[in-house]
Amino acid sequence: MTGPGEASLNRAACNDLARLYAATGGSPVAAQDLDDDAFIFGLQAAGLASEVAGLLASFGAAIRGGHLDQRSTTVQEMTGRPPRTVRDVLTGALQVPGRPAP
């Protein structure tokens, strides 16, 4: 299932996501190049179970392999609502009563 855009892990897309996270979260964020083992190690160091860390790393592998480079209508079909952009999801998650929207 995809959102309204294709998933990409190229350098430009990663830098765009870092800027988006920084803008919506209010803290500096920089994209980092990590291989899957380093990513899994970092996730485990943050307290995730090895199975969960491996699952999350598999999404990056699928994107790099071109398996998530198409749009689908599955989100709309399953939920009855249109898919949301990453920006919309982050902005919605960060809305706190009394705090201006990012």
Q: Give the separation between CA 40 and CA 49, rounded to whole angstroms.
A: 10
In a domain, residue 65? The reply is yes
Instruction: Convert the pLDDT of each residue in 16-56 to its tens digit.
Output: 889 888 888 888 999 998 999 999 999 999 999 999 999 99
Q: Contact, 40 vs 50, CB < 8 A?
A: yes
> Has residue 72 been placed in a domain?
yes
Who wins on pLDDT, 67 or 30? 30
More confident: 1 or 95: 95
Q: Answer whether residue 48 is part of any domain.
A: yes
Which domain does 84 fall in, by range? 11-93
Which pLDDT score is estimated for 69?
Answer: 75
- In SS3 terms, 20-76 reads as HHHHHHCCCCCCCCCCHHHHHHHHHHCCCCHHHHHHHHHHHHHHHCCCCCCCCCHHH
pLDDT over threshold 70, residue 10: yes
Residue 71 lies inside a defined structural domain of this protein = yes
Tell me the C-alpha distance between 44 and 100, whole Å.
34
Q: Is pLDDT above 70 for 97?
A: no
In a domain, residue 101? The reply is no
State the CATH number of the domain containing residue 15: 3.90.25.10
Residue 76, in any domain of the structure: yes
Number of structural domains found in the chain = 1
Reported as a pLDDT band with limits 50, 70 and 90, residue 66 is confident
Q: Do residues 20 and 87 lie in contact, with contact meaning Cβ atoms separated by under 8 Å? A: yes
